Amino acid sequence: MSKLPILLSIPHGGTRKPAELEGHLSITNKDLFDDSDPFVMELYDLGDKVQRVIKTDIARAFVDLNRSLQDMPPDNPDGLIKSKTCYDKPIYANGKEPDDSLKTMLIELYYKPYHQAIQESIDELDLQLCLDCHSMASTAPYFSPDKTQSKRPMFCISNNDGQTSSQEMIELLSNSISEAYSVDRNEISLNDPFHGGHIIKTYGNNPVPWIQVEMNRDLYLSKEWFDHETLQIDKERLQVLNQMFENMLTKFCSDCFKGR
């Protein structure tokens, strides 16, 4: 079976603390978990079934790969090198915040290699679509465009309001998600609450289309599958969702790229 002509980017799945930050941190493991996109590696990583998967194990609390180099505290506490988590929890002990030299080191070690891998993949591979893969809390955290609203949809998929892919492509992806995950089409939102982050805005239609995918964590962090005290999850549920993701992409590619 040939590989699907797709690149998967998974920038927020890790929870590893960079060794360079030892002695600087005040963040708890629970706050680190809440700030991450938990279990997205298991949800989205399709290995060699797609052209390439780019991922990291470094937590977004320390280096957020979906931010621009200019997106920094204090203007944005939830920027590239954060001062607080998306739930407004401090990351660093008082007086231990990274200085400019440490920030530069983190960027050189973790941020630039990820983006270099994306650019090299675009240059090397025959790609028809790239997906930036995330999960979203069922209700909005403190630093979020929709924090005054309540319940979020089951999926939000984004193309920066038509800038990073065609409307036809994002509509077709929505229909494929609806069918594969047995989710009502009305539970799949386009560009709301997210329009797309730095990654799709940077690489989208340059020259390959990019779409950001956000899956509601209610699909796997509900009490049916997840223990919020121990942070233990039903791994079979993750396997089911991963298979749904593969089925969705297979159908999407068959419908969207047939004859190409």
CATH number of the domain enclosing 55 = 3.40.630.40
* Distance in Å from the first CA to the final CA of the chain: 17
Angle (CA) 163 165 166, round 5°: 100
- Please state, in angstroms and as integers, the Cα–Cα distance from residue 83 to each residue in 33, 64, 86, 111, following that order: 16, 12, 10, 17
Provide the sign of the torsion angle of the four alpha carbons 138, 59, 134, 183, taken in this order.
negative
Tens digits of residue pLDDT in 195-217: 999 999 999 999 999 999 999 99
Domain hosting 25: range is: 4-256
Instruction: Residue 131: name the closest of 45, 237, 219 by CA.
Output: 45
Q: What is the DSSP letter of 2?
A: P
Residues near 179 by beta carbon (within 8 Å), at least 6 away in sequence: 248, 251
How many domains, in total, are found in the chain? 1
> In angstroms, rounded to a whole number, what is the distance separating the alpha carbons of residues 97 and 99?
6
93-144: pLDDT as tens digits: 999 999 999 999 999 999 999 999 999 999 999 999 999 999 998 866 655 6
* Predicted model pTM: 0.94
Contacts of 208 (CB under 8 A, 6+ apart): 7, 122, 127, 128, 129, 130
As a whole-number percent, the residues of the chain with pLDDT over 70 amount to: 94
